[in-house]
Amino acid sequence: MQANLEVLEGLIRRLDISVPMDQLESEVQSRLKRLARNVKMDGFRPGKAPLGAVTRQHGAGVRQEVLGETLQTRFGEAMQAHQLKIAGYPRFEPKAGQADTTAMTFSASFEVYPEVKIGDLSTGKVSRPVVNLGDADVAKTLEVLQKQRRTFESTDRAAAEGDLVKFDYQGTVDGAAFEGGKAEDFAAVVGEGRLLKDFEQNLTGLKAGDSKGFDLTFPAEYAAKELAGEVAHFEVQVKDVQAPMLPSMDAEFAKALGIEDGDVEKLKAEVKSNLQREVKRRVQAKLKEQTMELLLQKSTLDLPQSLVAMETDRLMKMTEADMQSRGVQTMKLNADMFTGQAERRVRLGLILAEIVQTHKLVARPEQIRALIQEQAQSYEEPEQVLQWYYQSPERMQEIESLALEENVVAWAAGQAQVEDVTTSFEELMGRT
């Protein structure tokens, strides 16, 4: 068999493969004979059907099977001979106007992996947050945990931010009621944003039994389009004002958060340890994000469109599956919605693979174990989580990929100009 390679535009290649008919038919007949020994056909005992009958019923399928396997085998041999690394899958088409009856010729169109050039990273700048986690950050986190477990008790004072207010309301626009403009025994915590800010401000200062009327302008971007920008008049009747009661920072509180002996100091230490892990994770994420952007800026390569198409299809199917799992009605998704993201992911994947291969980066066993242990610390039974990872090759592959990404980031950051930037915990968490 012969295989001739033609270089087309960009990464596209075309390979002509000639398949001698006598070899093809010889393999077809051999398979049909083997099939005839066991095949079940109406009117014949198993294995007793005449070869002619077997050929009439199964010949076309067997021939297509043999041809497909032959083309794939010869294509693979040609790839090795030409030392090509194929991106995606080849598309086989019979060549038009074939005069040779002793052979069938097919054209295989495909793309090859591109040459990836990593530019000079030494001029690139990357900022690395440096966070000094203090007792005040631990105290704020404990306050958040207290608020999450708060209770409310009725009070005679006027409503203030943080209070739970129960009230009736009636709204009108130009004197007419509107959908959603009336409710009884409605309850909301002032300051949590469940209500429009102007509405909350008018609740502040009212006591149980108080009534108030006020005008309010709906925001231009309000979700209910028919009300956006409209001026509404509301009448409210406050029925109850409840003040928040935070649980004491005591043994019971510590036990409720998983500290079996109720030691508050242990609780603080565990909270600090959790915050330190979160700080490390966020710092690594920010460093990775900037490093990946630097690599994208400094690298040049042609994108195999076959890989982009495959990644686009994968992202689209993932989105559809996610929507279905959340009970969201699946709408018709357009591939164009995912093309940009797919191109970025393919480009980054090729760049990372080039760096890993060129610089012989590997995921070390101790590095993989450390990553698993780090993830396991957030679970009650870390050892079981450790076993869960090591029992699955697929999960171990995911961790190995993360480790390789870490190594690429470390290598790239080592080439670039890294500036340590003092950052507060609140800034790192995006709360300022």
pLDDT for 364: 93
**What confidence score (pLDDT) does residue 99 get?**
64
- Burial of 304-317, coded b for 16+ CB within 10 Å and e otherwise, reads bbbbbebbbeebbe
Q: pLDDT tens digits for 271-320? A: 999 999 999 999 999 999 999 999 999 999 999 999 999 999 999 999 98
- Angle in degrees, CA 399, 402, 404, rounded to 5: 110
Residue type, 144: V
Rounded CA gap, 389 and 386, in Å? 5
pLDDT above 90 covers a percentage of the chain that reads: 68
Domain boundaries, the chain: 2-112, 125-134+262-428, 151-245
Percent of the chain with pLDDT over 70: 97
Cβ proximity of 84 and 112 under 8 Å:
yes
- CATH fold, domain 151-245, is Chitinase A; domain 3 (3.10.50)
Over residues 223-230, the mean pLDDT reads 92
Q: What local confidence, expressed as pLDDT, does residue 142 receive?
A: 95
Give the chain's count of helices (H) and strands (E): 12, 13
User: What is the pLDDT at residue 127?
Assistant: 95
Give, in order, the Cα–Cα distances in Å from 110 to each of 6, 335, 378: 11, 21, 46
HSE of 15, CA atoms in CB hemisphere, 13 A: 26
Q: How confident is the model at residue 328 (pLDDT cuts 50, 70, 90)?
A: confident
For residue range 362-416, what is the model confidence (pLDDT) as tens digits?
999 999 999 999 888 878 788 898 899 999 999 999 999 999 999 999 999 999 9
The CATH number of 2-112, from 3.40.50.720, 3.30.2450.30, 3.30.70.1050, 3.40.50.300, is 3.30.70.1050
Q: What is the mean pLDDT of the chain?
A: 91
Is residue 97 scored above 80 in pLDDT? no
In this prediction, residue 330 carries a pLDDT of 63
Tell me phi and psi for residue 389, to 5 degrees: -70, -50
**Cα–Cα distance between 198 and 38 in angstroms, integer?**
82
d(CA 207, CA 212): 11
pLDDT band at 1 (very low <50, low <70, confident <90, very high): very low
The pTM (predicted TM-score) of the whole model is: 0.75
pLDDT computed for residue 162 by the predictor: 94
| Beta carbons within 8 Å of 348's beta carbon, 6+ residues apart | 292, 295, 296
Q: What average pLDDT does the segment 67-71 reach?
A: 89
Q: Is the pLDDT assigned to residue 223 strictly greater than 80?
A: yes
| 101 vs 242, more confident | 242
Band (58; pLDDT cuts 50, 70, 90): confident
* pLDDT reading at 178 higher than 70: yes
pLDDT value, residue 341: 96
Alpha carbon distances (Å) from 288 to 46, 130, 277: 63, 15, 16
Q: Which CATH number fits domain 125-134+262-428: 1.10.420.10, 3.30.590.10, 1.10.3120.10, 2.60.260.20?
A: 1.10.3120.10
pLDDT at residue 41 greater than cutoff 90: no
